Amino acid sequence: MRVRGVAHAFAGRPVLAGVDLDVAAGERVAVVGPNGAGKSTLLRIMATLLTPREGTVAVGGTPYPEGVRAARRRIGYLGHDPLVYLDLTAWQNLRLFGDLYGVDGLDDAVPDALARVGLLPRAHDHVRTFSRGMAQRLGIARMLLHSPDVLLLDEPYTGLDAQGSRLLDGIVTGASSGTAVVMVTHDLARAHALCGRVVMIARGLLAWDAGTADVSHDQLAQRYAESAG
Amino acid sequence: MTTFSMTDTPRAGRAIAALGALSAVLLAVATFGVFLVAPEDAASGVIQRIFYFHVSVALVSMLAFMVACIAGIVHLRRGGDGSDDVSLASIAIGLMLAVLTVITGSIWAKAAWGFWWRWDDLRLVSFLLIILLYAAYFVLRGSADESRQARFGAVYAIFAFAAVPLSFYAVRTARSFIHPVVVTSKGADMPGTMLVWFLISVVAFTALFVTLLLVEVQQRRAARALEDVKRRLEARSATPTGGH
Amino acid sequence: MSRVRQLRALVRKDVLLEAHTKETIVAMALFALVSMVIFQFAVGQRAGDSSLIAGGIIWATVSLAAVLGVGRTWVPEREQRVLDGLLTAPVARLTMFMARAIVLTLFLLAVEVVIVPLGIVFFTRQIAPSDLALMAGVCVLANLCIAVAGTLLASMSVFSRARELVIPVLLLPALVPVVIAASGATQAVLGPGTQLAEYLGYCRFLAVYAAVFSLVAYATYDHVLDD
């Protein structure tokens, strides 16, 4: 995944001022930064939810805005909300998104996905009856259903129960070697533990980019504090 | 983003002043001709003279809505603030002219038939629909986020202009489809001198439209430039060190 | 092929949501019914022969109910916070638009199944079975018109403040031609003696209306949903 010169503004106020970021297949990158630094905006642009004022994003060979539909097929996005319908059952939700993504063999894929997040016993219950954590787990199943090449996670741990957090940890670290993960998070410790790289966004710019292998968590926290000012 | 260049302001200002003067002269000539030179209509007398303005204003408002639609198409294709300014200003002016059409038409109806309103006066009824259609444009813009106003405005300018002929036609067939009300005959058979004064008033109102359009567009550009300067000043005072 | 599959999935999704909550159609039908009663007391009472205004009352009623239906478009996505999920899916915006329009057509049809027969019973003396078939034709055509115009306008007000105020103001002026033509066609059927030529003329007008706005929607829809 390749981000080039992405800049964006809301109502004339610049939020991102030209960000470049490369994420290789299989790489796990955490995006950190103070509130309002533009990290969520960056992720929404990468997830095709926002068209940047300037710059391009590409997944594999397809840069967008132009090749947006091919790119969408390869991206799995999870935000603060699980992005599933509360008034549909878990099964109906996955069936719907499976159809939208053109997933083959849904009759097997849906129960497999539900089993993976521990929701198979509740498959035919409406999501409105689920706890927040269960809904978020269904969101994880929805995100993984079409086997995306890139997972884009925006504060995915908010609202997740202990079981879900463990599950997501496993998915992030155990993602198959071809799957890249980009995760926006506040949680520096988790970023350090799970991701191979930490990228700091401050005032709309990429402040620094560090591998976690040769930096301790404390060093990371110190650098964070320095650039957050 | 369009940058506001200081150099073209005086030139734009001069063009607007010239056009404004031209419209004023044309309107004066048209008023003079319509009231003092054009022959009096034998059947309806002096009140018939309002008809020159009534129909000219109606035609120019349609022209304004067409300009708004074209500017909307340009905006969707190429983006940019300029086409949105043109679209917005055209609809504002067109709406004003449509209201004028209904007012003059109503005066005409009062004088000719003794009532302020007739549902079988097609121009009156159609323009009432047009006013409702285009007034909604401002409701839509007012309720949309700032980042979407221009885009939605453009889509609606196209949508509404597509609705115009359908509304005109539907109004004609409101009583019967097979025997629609024919185009009203008033003015259909104009003697040559009447036609000349009629055309002059159409040109006069067109010039007025173009003048108002330029003023409005220029005004919006200036407002945006001011906003830009303010924002840059704010940004500078936020980082007093001056470095990036 | 995948487009058809996506379209079917989106339509099924809205039907399932409606089947579970039963919010929209019930509200639309009740609203239409009460509007019909209001029209009767406001104007029908003093019109000597109410069969002369039956078509008008039916379609004024349906157009008001349509405001509710159009207003509900995209509401589950907003209330249940799924919009981002749909927008990140690889679905052409046109497919989403068509799914919305189809669902709205179906909802309106469901309302008309209740309202039109009731209107006929309330306001006319008798009706031939063949006239019912003609009425079904008007309903389908008028629903297409309402659905196409309504879906386009609704998609612009998803993101707006005070959408419940914006939608009637946007939708109803555009629907006036539809009300004129649909009432005309209905009157041609329900009025004294079926006037086939009138009926067909109005139906043709409805078809042209639907075609024109389909073109407008086709040309502009991408700009409505994408940022």
Domain count of the fold of chain B: 1
Percent of chain C at pLDDT > 90 equals 61
Q: Return the sign of the alpha-carbon dihedral for residues A72, A75, A76, A82.
A: negative
Nearest to C216 among B136, B139, B162 (CB): B162
A126-to-A52, B98, C59 alpha-carbon distances in Å: 36, 53, 37
Return the residue of B nearest to A50 by Cα: B147
The arithmetic mean of pLDDT across residues A117-137, rounded, is 92
User: Which is more confidently placed, A76 or B40?
Assistant: A76
* B82 lies in some domain: yes
Question: pLDDT, tens digit, for every residue of B52-62?
Answer: 889 999 999 99
| CA distance linking residue B84 with residue B141, whole number of Å | 12
Distance of CA C101 to the CA centre of its chain: 9
Question: pLDDT, tens digit, for every residue of B198-226?
Answer: 888 899 999 999 999 999 999 999 998 99
Question: pLDDT, tens digit, for every residue of B29-50?
Answer: 888 888 777 777 666 677 778 8
The full DSSP string for B140-198 is HHHHS-HHHHHHHHHHHHHHHHHHHHHHHHHHHTSS-SSSPPPPP-TTTS--HHHHHHH
Question: pLDDT, tens digit, for every residue of A14-42?
Answer: 888 888 888 888 888 999 888 877 888 89
Q: What is the dihedral of CA B1, B4, B7, B12, to 10 degrees?
A: 100
pLDDT surpasses 60 at B188: no
| CA distance linking residue A146 with residue A132, whole number of Å | 23
Query: B157: closest CA among B74, B79, B98, B215?
Result: B74
pLDDT surpasses 50 at A113: yes
Question: pLDDT, tens digit, for every residue of B58-74?
Answer: 999 999 999 999 999 99
Residue B158: per-residue pLDDT: 96
pLDDT band at B243 (very low <50, low <70, confident <90, very high): very low
Contact assignment for C173 to B133 by CB distance below 8 Å:
yes
How far is C145 from chain A, CA to nearest CA, in Å? 27
Residue B8: per-residue pLDDT: 58
pLDDT surpasses 60 at B239: no
Scanning C13-32 for CB atoms below 8 A from A yields: 13, 16-17, 20-21
Task: Judge whether C211 is closer than 8 Å to chain B, CB to CB.
Answer: no
Residue A194: per-residue pLDDT: 85
| CA distance linking residue A137 with residue C153, whole number of Å | 35
Residue A160: per-residue pLDDT: 83
Neighbours of C21 (CB within 10 A): 15
- Domain map of chain A by residue range? 2-228
Task: Judge whether B148 is closer than 8 Å to chain A, CB to CB.
Answer: no
Residue B241: per-residue pLDDT: 47
pLDDT surpasses 80 at B136: yes
The arithmetic mean of pLDDT across residues A115-135, rounded, is 92
* B208 lies in some domain: no
* B118 lies in some domain: yes
Query: A78: closest CA among A143, A11, A150?
Result: A143
Task: Judge whether A10 is closer than 8 Å to chain B, CB to CB.
Answer: yes
Domain that holds residue C117: 2-225
Contact assignment for C10 to A100 by CB distance below 8 Å:
yes
User: Which is more confidently placed, B91 or C52?
Assistant: B91
Residue A119: per-residue pLDDT: 92
pLDDT band at A175 (very low <50, low <70, confident <90, very high): low
Task: Judge whether A8 is closer than 8 Å to chain C, CB to CB.
Answer: no
Return the residue of B nearest to C197 by Cα: B178
Residue B3: per-residue pLDDT: 47
Residue B183: per-residue pLDDT: 52
Exposed, middle or buried, A166 (CB in 10 Å: 0-12/13-18/19+)?
A: exposed
Residues of chain C positioned with their CB less than 8 A from the CB of A96:
9-10, 12-13
| CA distance linking residue A132 with residue A161, whole number of Å | 8
Nearest to A85 among C9, C80, C89 (CB): C80
| CA distance linking residue A9 with residue C194, whole number of Å | 61
Cα B219–Cα A53–Cα A13 angle in degrees, nearest 5? 60
Q: Which of the following CATH numbers is that of domain A2-228: 3.40.30.10, 3.40.50.300, 3.20.20.370, 3.90.226.10?
A: 3.40.50.300
Contact assignment for A87 to C17 by CB distance below 8 Å:
yes
Q: What is the mean pLDDT of chain C?
A: 90
Contact assignment for C159 to B132 by CB distance below 8 Å:
no
pLDDT surpasses 60 at B7: no
pLDDT band at C123 (very low <50, low <70, confident <90, very high): confident
| CA distance linking residue B3 with residue B224, whole number of Å | 9
Contact assignment for C177 to B169 by CB distance below 8 Å:
yes
Cis peptide, bond prior to residue A65, ω within 30 of zero: yes
Return the CA Rg of chain C: 18
Element (H, E) at A44: helix A39-46
Question: Which residues are CB-contacts of A193 (< 8 A; sequence separation ≥ 6)?
Answer: none
| CA distance linking residue B116 with residue B118, whole number of Å | 7
| CA distance linking residue B112 with residue B129, whole number of Å | 23
pLDDT band at A229 (very low <50, low <70, confident <90, very high): low
* B85 lies in some domain: yes
Nearest to C184 among B154, B162, B177 (CB): B177
Contact assignment for A12 to B147 by CB distance below 8 Å:
no
Residue A130: per-residue pLDDT: 93
The arithmetic mean of pLDDT across residues C189-211, rounded, is 90
Residue C75: per-residue pLDDT: 87
The arithmetic mean of pLDDT across residues A2-23, rounded, is 84
The arithmetic mean of pLDDT across residues B81-107, rounded, is 94
Question: Which residues are CB-contacts of A145 (< 8 A; sequence separation ≥ 6)?
Answer: A94, A97, A98, A101, A103, A109, A110, A113
Query: Tokens 């849904």 appear where?
Result: A106
Of the ranges A114-118, A136-140, B177-181, C76-80, which one carries the lowest mean pLDDT score?
Answer: B177-181
The predicted complex's ipTM stands at: 0.91
Contact assignment for A84 to C82 by CB distance below 8 Å:
yes
Residue B181: per-residue pLDDT: 64
Q: What is the mean pLDDT of chain A?
A: 87
How far is B207 from chain C, CA to nearest CA, in Å? 30
pLDDT surpasses 60 at B242: no
Domain that holds residue B58: 49-176+215-230
